[in-house]
Amino acid sequence: MASPANFEATPTSFGVFIHNTKINYGRLYLRQVISGSGTNQSDVIEPNAATGLGQTTVNNWEIYDGLGSDAKLVAYGQGMHTYAGNWQNWFTMVFETERLKGSTLQIMGASLEKSNDWAIVGGTGDFAMAQGVIKRTEYKFTGDEKIHELTIDGYCRIELPAVPAPTKMGPWGGYGGFVREMEGKSRRLESVTIRHANLVERLTFSYVNEDRQIRTAGPFGSAHADSSTPQSIITKITFGPSEFVQRITGAGVVTALSALTIVTNVKTYGPFGTRTGTLFNAPVPSDKTVVGFFVQADNNTVTTIGVYTI
C-alpha cells in the first residue's frame, strides 16, 4: 500500500526517514449506517428548526476492502460530521489490519454531490505526516445505509530502522594479497559479478547501503582487461527483490580462491572456478543473511573471501 516514490532520505540516530512515500489504496468501502439496529452514528446536536444548520453527528463508520460477506474490516472512520449547507466531515481513519493496526489518517472534507475529494491532513504510525486526498464516490444509498467508495492517494514519511552493525566472518581461501572492503553498511546484496576460469580472478558486488542508495564495491582482483584473458568467463548474478544470500562455499589453494558458490533462499549459483585445494563452507547462522563481502586480492586473482552478515 505504501511504496517509495522520489524519496528523500534523512538519517537520524534511530534510523532513516524516507520522505514522500506514496500511499495508494483503492476500492475501500465506507459503510455509513444512518438508522436501524446496526447504526454506526449518533446525533449529538439537533439542527436549527428554521435553517437545518448545525446538526452534528458522531460517527464510528466501518471501512471494508470489499462489498461481499467475505469483505475484511480495514479501518474505522471515527469522528463527526456537521451540516453547514453541506455535510462537513472531521474524522480519524483508525486502521485495524494486522500490519497497520494503530496507524491513522486524519481526514477533513465536505460531502458534495455524489463524488468529491476529502483532504488527508495528517497521520500517525505507518502514515506519519501524511498529506493527500481521498477520492470519494457515493456507491449506493438505500435510505438506511449509504456506501461510499474510497481511494486513498497521498504521501507520508516512513522511518526505516537503523542498520545493525554487521558481523564479520572469515576469510577463507588461500593466502596473500591486499585487503579490500566495501564502504559503509549494507542492508542487502543487489548483485555479484565474478570473473573466473580455473580460479576466481575478480569480484565486484553492488549493495543497498544504510541510506537506501545502491553502491558498488570493486572490482577486486585481476587488473587484466577482460579481452586479454579470453579463456575467462564473466558471470553476473542479480538477486530478486525477495531473494537473499544464505551462505557461501568454495575452495582455496595456496595463493588463490579457487572456487566460489553462492547459495540463496531461491537457488545455488556456481561453483565458479575449480573446486581444488582446501574446501570451506562459511558457517552463516540460520537467522542471518549475507549482505556484503571483504576480500584479499592481488593483481591476478582473489586470494581470500569473507562475508558480512546481519
Nearest to 114 by CA among 147, 143, 84: 147
The per-residue pLDDT for 6 is 34
The per-residue pLDDT for 126 is 82
Mean per-residue pLDDT for 206-221? 92
Q: Give yes or no for residue 118 having a pLDDT over 80.
A: yes
Cα distance between residue 233 and residue 210, in whole Å: 32
pLDDT band at 161 (very low <50, low <70, confident <90, very high): low
Mean per-residue pLDDT for 159-177? 84
Identity at 270, one-letter amino acid code: G
Mean per-residue pLDDT for 207-226? 90
Mean per-residue pLDDT for 97-126? 91
The per-residue pLDDT for 125 is 86
Q: Give yes or no for residue 54 having a pLDDT over 60.
A: yes
99-104 contacts at long range (C-beta below 8 A, 24 or more positions apart): 99/126, 100/1, 100/125, 100/126, 103/127
pLDDT by residue (tens digit) across 71-86? 999 999 999 999 999 9
Judged on CB neighbours under 10 Å (0-12, 13-18, 19+), 183 is exposed
Percent of the chain past pLDDT 90, that is, above it, reads: 73
Longest dimension (CA), the chain: 97
Q: How many CB atoms lie within 10 A of CB 143?
A: 8
Mean per-residue pLDDT for 36-41? 93
Domain 167-309 sits in CATH 2.100.10.30: yes
pLDDT by residue (tens digit) across 270-306? 999 999 999 999 989 989 999 999 999 999 999 999 9
The per-residue pLDDT for 33 is 96
The per-residue pLDDT for 113 is 85
Q: Do residues 252 and 302 make contact, with C-beta atoms less than 8 angstroms apart? A: no
pLDDT by residue (tens digit) across 13-23? 333 344 567 78
Write down the pTM of the prediction.
0.52
pLDDT band at 241 (very low <50, low <70, confident <90, very high): confident
pLDDT band at 1 (very low <50, low <70, confident <90, very high): very low
For the chain, how many residues are written? 310
In the chain, where the domains are located = 2-160, 167-309
Q: Do residues 89 and 118 make contact, with C-beta atoms less than 8 angstroms apart? A: yes
pLDDT by residue (tens digit) across 243-267? 999 999 999 999 999 999 999 999 9
Q: How many CB atoms lie within 10 A of CB 288?
A: 17
CATH number of 2-160: 2.40.480.10
Q: How many CB atoms lie within 10 A of CB 182?
A: 22
Q: Rounded mean pLDDT of the chain? A: 89
The per-residue pLDDT for 14 is 34
Cα distance between residue 293 and residue 168, in whole Å: 9
Cell 586470494, residue located:
303
Identity at 223, one-letter amino acid code: A
Q: Which three cell numbers stand for residue 223?
A: 587488473
Dump the DSSP string for 117-145.
EEEEEEEEGGGTT-EEEEEEEEEEE-SSE
The per-residue pLDDT for 13 is 33
Cα distance between residue 265 and residue 103, in whole Å: 32
The per-residue pLDDT for 20 is 60
Q: Give yes or no for residue 155 having a pLDDT over 70.
A: yes
Judged on CB neighbours under 10 Å (0-12, 13-18, 19+), 307 is buried
Nearest to 173 by CA among 84, 258, 66: 258
The per-residue pLDDT for 165 is 82
Nearest to 262 by CA among 163, 182, 189, 187: 189
The per-residue pLDDT for 194 is 98
Instruction: Quote the DSSP letter at residue 227.
Output: G
182-185 contacts at long range (C-beta below 8 A, 24 or more positions apart): 182/207, 182/215, 182/217, 182/292, 182/293, 182/294, 182/308, 183/209, 183/215, 183/217, 184/209, 184/210, 184/215, 185/209, 185/210
